[in-house]
Amino acid sequence: MTGSGRSPAPRPIPEVARDLGLSEEELLLYGPYKAKVHLSAYRRREKEPDGKLILVTAITPTKFGEGKTTTTIGLGQALGLMKKRGVIAIREPSLGPVFGIKGGATGGGRARVIPSDEINLHFTGDFAAVEKANNLLAALIDNHLHHGNALGLDPREVQFKRCMDMNERALRQIVIGLGGRTGGVPREEVFQITAASEVMAIFALARDLRDLKERFGRILVGFTRDGRPVLAQELKAPGPMAALMRDAIHPNLVQTLEGTPAFVHAGPFGNIATGTSSVIATRLALKLADYVITEAGFASDLGAEKFFDIKCRVGGLEPSAAVLVATVRALKLHGGAPPVLEELQKEDVGAVERGLPNLEKHIENVRTFGLPLVVAINRFSTDTDAEIDAIRRFCESQGVEVAVSEVYERGGEGGLDLAEKALALADSGKARFRFLYEADEPLVQKIERIATRIYGADGVKYTATAKRKLDRLERLGYGGSLVCMAKTQDSLSDDPQLRGRPRGFTVTVRDVYISAGAGFVVPLAGQILTMPGLPKQPAAEGIDVDDEGNITGIF
C-alpha cells in the first residue's frame, strides 16, 4: 500500500471476497487489494433473497464537507464489529474534485476505503472507459457530418456533448471543426465533466451489458433540420461503445481499513447527475449481505431524491431505512454564522438552534418517501456537548432517533450506537417506501412536485428556452422520462446564498436537456455548471509522488 492508501495489514482481496461467498473464479484481480466481480456472480444468485438496503444522506452541506462518505464507511465497519454480514456500496471519485477543491472521496481518518490513493486516481480504469465511450460517439457524430451527413443531422442541433474527467472551464463553450475542408464541420461544442455525462449516468443505471448497449442505442444525439430525432443506434455506435465498457461494467470490490467489503462503482455527480453508485453493484451487494450501506451525493434534496425516484425505480430497489448526517458546523452556517471554518469551530449554541429548520426539512424529505430514519451527528473535535445536546433535543422533539458518530477518530467502534439504531430501524418493518411522482405524469408536473415538496418552493418558473424544450420533449414522446434536477448543493433552493430553510422562493428552470439513454431529463435550475473550473489554489498543487512511487497530498 502506498501514500494515502497505507493501512494496517490489508487483507488480500480474495480473502475479503470469500467472506461474501464469492469464489476466486468470480473475480477479475487488479493486484492484491482490488478486484472486479464478474456479472455472472449476480446471475448465479438471482433467486436468493435480498438483504436490507440503508441509504446515508445528509443535511445541506458546507464547502468544508460534512463526512457523509466517512459516516457511510464507518457505519459499515461498525457492522463488522457487531459480526453482521454487511457491505458498503459507494461511488468512484472523479479526478475533477480530487485535483480541484473537494479532494478525494474515500472517507477520512479511521473510516476509509483502501487503497485510497489508487481509488482516488485511476483505480480500475472505469472513468477512462466512460470517457472513451462517450467521446467515441462524439467522434462518430462529427465524422458523419464530415462524410456527407446521410441522416441529415443539423449541426446546430447536435445535443450530445464531449466529456473529460477534469475541471476545465476553458472547454465549457468552444468551436470545433476549424482548419479547412479536412478539419471537419465547424460548429459550437460543449464539454461536460465525465461524472456529468450521459454515458456515466447510463453506466450507473444499467442492469447488465445488454441493457447498457440498448441504452447507448437510445441516446438522442441531435435533430434533423425538420426536427426528427437522431439516435446513437443510427450511427452504429452502441456496439463499439459497449466494447469499451466491457470490463468497466463489472463492479469493483475493495475493503475498508477494518476489512469490511466495499463496492466502489460508477461516479455520477450529485448536483448535476444522479449522485449514486451503480445499480449493478447495489443489486449484487444485496445478494451477498444482510445489510447494504450506500450513500447518495450531497443532501436529501439532491442525491436522496434521485436515489429514490431514479435509481430505486430503475433498479427495482426498496430501501428499508435512512441515515441523515448532520454536523454542528453546518447547522451553525445555516443559523447565520459566517462561512469561515475558524468561526464555525467556535461554540455557538444559538447558531446551531437557528440552523435546525434545515435539519427539520431534510427529516421531512426522507419521511416523504416513507422511510424511518436516524440522525447521525458526525462529531468533530471542536463540537461541544452543549451544541450536541441542542441537536439531540430537537431530534427527540421530532420523534427521530439520533446517534453521535465518531467514526473519523475511532473507526467502527465510533459508529456502534449509530449502527445499532440504523439496523433496528431497517429490521422494524416500518418502511413504507414510495416514489414522489409517477413516471407517466407530465414533465412539468414532476419538476414542480420536486421543487415544491422537496425544496419547499412556492412554484417553478421557466425561461422561454426551457419551456420550448419541454414542450418538444413531450411532443416527441419523452414525457414519461424521469427527472434529474441540476441545481446548487449549497441551498435547498436554486440560490446558493439562501441558507437554512428558505421559504417564499420560486425555482427558475433556465434550460433543459434529455439523457434519453439514461431515461431522464435534466432541468438546469439557477446557474449550475456541468463543467466545473479549478479554484485559485487547486488541490493539485499539494499532490506529489516520491522516487518510490508513494503519493502524498490526496485528502
- At residue 65, the pLDDT reads 83
Total structural domains within the chain: 3
Q: What number is the average pLDDT over the span 224-229?
A: 96
Q: What is the pLDDT of residues 14-50, one digit of tens each?
A: 999 999 999 999 999 999 999 999 999 999 999 999 9
More confident residue, 42 or 4: 42
State whether 16 and 103 are in the same domain: yes
State whether 10 and 144 are in the same domain: no
Residues 187 and 216 sit within 8 Å (Cβ to Cβ): no
- Among residues 187, 204, 238, the one where a domain terminates is 238
State whether 67 and 83 are in the same domain: yes
Q: What is the residue-averaged pLDDT of the chain? A: 95
Phi, psi for 162 (deg, rounded to 5): -75, 165
- At residue 134, the pLDDT reads 98
Q: DSSP per residue over 247-300, as a string?
A: TTTSPEEEEETT--EEEE-----TTTS--B--HHHHHHHHHH-SEEEEEBSSSI
- Residue 5: pLDDT band (50, 70, 90) is very low
Residue owning grid cell 463499439:
240
- At residue 385, the pLDDT reads 97
- At residue 66, the pLDDT reads 86
- At residue 293, the pLDDT reads 98
Query: Minimum mean pLDDT among 178-182, 296-300, 318-322, 444-448: which range?
Result: 178-182
State whether 143 and 25 are in the same domain: no
- Residue 417: pLDDT band (50, 70, 90) is very high
Amino acid making up residue 550:
N
State whether 447 and 367 are in the same domain: no
Residues 195 and 102 sit within 8 Å (Cβ to Cβ): no
Alpha carbon distance 129, 72 (integer Å): 27
Q: Given a cut of 70, is residue 197 above it in pLDDT?
A: yes
Alpha carbon distance 244, 250 (integer Å): 13
Q: Is residue 169 part of a domain?
A: yes
Cell of 116: 485510497
pTM: 0.95
∠ CA 224-227-231 to the nearest 5 degrees? 60
The CATH number of residue 203's host domain is: 3.30.1510.10
- CA torsion sign for 67, 416, 316, 216 is positive
> Assign residue 177 a region: left if phi > 0, alpha if psi is -120 to 50, beta otherwise?
left
State whether 118 and 173 are in the same domain: no
Q: Is residue 543 part of a domain?
A: no
Residues 73 and 88 sit within 8 Å (Cβ to Cβ): yes
Q: What is the pLDDT of residues 300-337, one digit of tens each?
A: 999 999 999 999 999 999 999 999 999 999 999 999 99
Residues 359 and 375 sit within 8 Å (Cβ to Cβ): yes
Q: Given a cut of 60, is residue 392 above it in pLDDT?
A: yes
Alpha carbon distance 54, 423 (integer Å): 8
Q: Domain residues for 216?
A: 127-238
State whether 392 and 459 are in the same domain: no
State whether 88 and 20 are in the same domain: yes
- At residue 212, the pLDDT reads 98
Cell of 483: 427527472
- At residue 421, the pLDDT reads 98
State yes or no: cis peptide before 115, omega within 30 of 0: yes
Rg (CA), the chain: 23
Q: Given a cut of 70, is residue 58 above it in pLDDT?
A: yes
Residues 153 and 230 sit within 8 Å (Cβ to Cβ): yes
Residues 504 and 455 sit within 8 Å (Cβ to Cβ): no
- At residue 26, the pLDDT reads 98
Q: Is residue 500 part of a domain?
A: yes
State whether 193 and 61 are in the same domain: no
State whether 348 and 299 are in the same domain: yes
131, 113, 100: which is closest to 196 by C-alpha?
Answer: 131
Q: DSSP per residue over 418-480, as a string?
A: HHHHHHHHHHTT------SS-TTS-HHHHHHHIIIIII--SEEEE-HHHHHHHHHHHHTT-TT
- At residue 3, the pLDDT reads 35
Q: What is the pLDDT of residues 77-99, one digit of tens each?
A: 999 999 999 999 999 999 999 99
- At residue 8, the pLDDT reads 59
Q: Given a cut of 50, is residue 262 above it in pLDDT?
A: yes
State whether 226 and 259 are in the same domain: no
Q: Given a cut of 90, is residue 554 above it in pLDDT?
A: no
- Residue 64: pLDDT band (50, 70, 90) is confident
